[in-house]
Structure 1
Amino acid sequence: MSTTKLAKEPEGTEPTAAPALLELRDLRVFYGAIEALKGVNLSVREGEVVALLGANGAGKSTTLRTASGMLSPRSGEVLLRGERIDGIKPHNLVRFGIGHVPEGRRVFARMTVRENLEMGAYRFKSPDQDEMDRIFGLFPRLAERSSQLGGTLSGGEQQMLAIGRALMGKPELLLLDEPSMGLAPLVVQQIFEILREINQQGTTVLLVEQNAAQALQLADRGYVLETGTVAMHEEASALLADPRVRAAYLGEIAE
């Protein structure tokens, strides 16, 4: 990946728009003495797919972990529909309508596919069979392997299972961290087609993805992080056409 630097986004350039489903305000997050997020501002409107791009170490996964309650900011705010949720534990945030698919899938290896999916519905008294059927419709491979142990699935199947497990919680907002990592191109294409369908069915998506071309083709808007700060924020089509983005993340030579 190129190390081309992007011009920093001026303060106050966030466009006026509909109220945000998720909003991050001036987030500062530390790992010990290391500042991972340095005043990040980001919003996701209902019904959108928003892509979060950046090199390794830019703060993308930290942003998702903070939004889902896995990390606590030292300062700043996380708001869902205008209400602060920073400080709420992750298992309780699921009840607020947030689902998080972490990097690395992390399926329950010794549970079956069906049991993994049922675990995703833990906030309900019992799993919703209609939701299970919807997920099996989205991921027919999981239906075929419903009694197979999660740890015996292929990488692509485990990614499908991780997404399906999060969907069993009926999230309004799905946070996805590197869904294409380590997968063959054909499987990546399939995953992104399913993500498009999930969004069309009403789930808002905040997506962290190294595959910038796939992410921006799916997304409505995108943010580019550099060393813990927002360097760019544009409509996805504008980012995809931007020569700086193409040089830094699509391997093209900047003119």
Structure 2
Amino acid sequence: MSTQLEKDPAGGPTTDAPAPALLELRDLHVFYGAIEALKGVELTVAEGEVVALLGANGAGKSTTLKTASGMLKPRSGEVVLRGERVDGIPSHELVKFGIGHVPEGRRVFARMTVLENLQMGAYRLRRPDPADLDRVFTLFPRLAERRKQVAGTLSGGEQQMLAIGRALMGKPELLLLDEPSMGLAPLIVQQIFDILREINEQGTTLLLVEQNASQALQLADRGYVLETGAVVMSDEASELLSHPRVRAAYLGEAAE
């Protein structure tokens, strides 16, 4: 998904060429007060890709997503979307540019119904598109069954489905996901990742923060590893999945 075929003048395929960059983070430095959380982070997400962002707690993964979605403003560096700088644009405006963000911890509107939560996801539109609602209910049949249920009474897995569905209602081209498997049973985790694969196959680009490195790298095209606010590794997902350092640090295997 990260490459596309060029054609020669005769119409035949030639070489693989990189897909155009949808998101670029360039030399990002982000601070919380005097503490530097991101120290020159650089990464690229091409159209149609799934990119995984790995790292231990406190490595800067959530900060990276929050900066990309406009929730945090970098002290220096650039957030570039389709070739245009968007750092400094607040998150509620950046949604209009095609970025959706599923935050860590789900953050559903607990006192609203499932349907009202989904409608809130389309707030940037004058009115929700029935086709988008149908898409969400097709991806998540359980939400269709519980459309009138108050979101705070849903299970953790159902709330995660709702958080993803709410973000999809904004018609994002790029979906940022922060720890979608957190606190979920293994069977539900597999269901969530199967749905994320389907969302990507439908044309939505994904940037994924995930502690479950095995699941993330099996889904992803490429990956980055963050340590203490800096990118220390980047490669094709299959290469990272087999790398001894990654396997020791994130898959629980003994270092060789």
Q: Within the alignment, does 1:229 sit opposite 2:217 as a pair?
A: no
Instruction: Give the TM-score of the pair, scaled to structure 1.
Output: 0.93
Q: Which aligned pairs between 1:200-215 and structure 2 lie closer than 5 A?
A: 200-215=201-216
Measured after TM superposition, the shift of residue 17 of structure 1 is 3.6
Q: Which residue of 1 aligns with 2:90?
A: 89
Q: Within the alignment, does 1:195 sit opposite 2:233 as a pair?
A: no
SS at match of 1:146: coil
SS at match of 2:80: strand
Deviation sequence 1:27-62 (CA, Å, 0-9, x none): 000000000000000000000000000000000000
Code of the residue aligned with 1:109 in structure 2: it is: A
Q: Within the alignment, does 1:148 sit opposite 2:149 as a pair?
A: yes
Q: Within the alignment, does 1:242 sit opposite 2:251 as a pair?
A: no
SS at match of 1:69: coil
Q: Within the alignment, does 1:115 sit opposite 2:125 as a pair?
A: no
SS at match of 1:86: coil
Code of the residue aligned with 2:209 in structure 1: it is: V
Larger relative contact order (Cα-Cα within 8 Å, sequence gap ≥ 6): 1
Measured after TM superposition, the shift of residue 231 of structure 1 is 0.5
Spell out structure 1 runs of 4+ moving beyond 6 A: none
Hey, what's the Cα distance between the residues in 1 that align with 2:196 and 2:173?
14
SS at match of 2:89: coil
Q: Which residue of 1 aligns with 2:22?
A: 21
Hey, what's the Cα distance between the residues in 2 that align with 1:251 and 1:21?
33
Code of the residue aligned with 2:135 in structure 1: it is: R
Deviation sequence 1:66-96 (CA, Å, 0-9, x none): 0000000000000000100000010010000
Deviation sequence 1:197-228 (CA, Å, 0-9, x none): 00000000000000000000000000000000
Hey, what's the Cα distance between the residues in 2 that align with 1:94 and 1:87?
13
Identity %: 82
Measured after TM superposition, the shift of residue 254 of structure 1 is 1.0
Q: Which residue of 2 aligns with 1:251?
A: 252
Hey, what's the Cα distance between the residues in 2 that align with 1:125 and 1:55?
40
Code of the residue aligned with 1:175 in structure 2: it is: L
Consecutive unaligned residues of structure 1, counting only runs of 5 or more, are 1-15
Q: Which residue of 1 aligns with 2:128?
A: 127
Hey, what's the Cα distance between the residues in 2 that align with 1:88 and 1:17?
28
Q: Which aligned pairs between 1:16-55 and structure 2 lie closer than 5 A?
A: 17-55=18-56
Code of the residue aligned with 1:241 in structure 2: it is: S
Hey, what's the Cα distance between the residues in 1 that align with 2:174 and 2:94?
11
Consecutive unaligned residues of structure 2, counting only runs of 5 or more, are 1-16
Code of the residue aligned with 2:65 in structure 1: it is: L
Q: Which residue of 2 aligns with 1:185?
A: 186
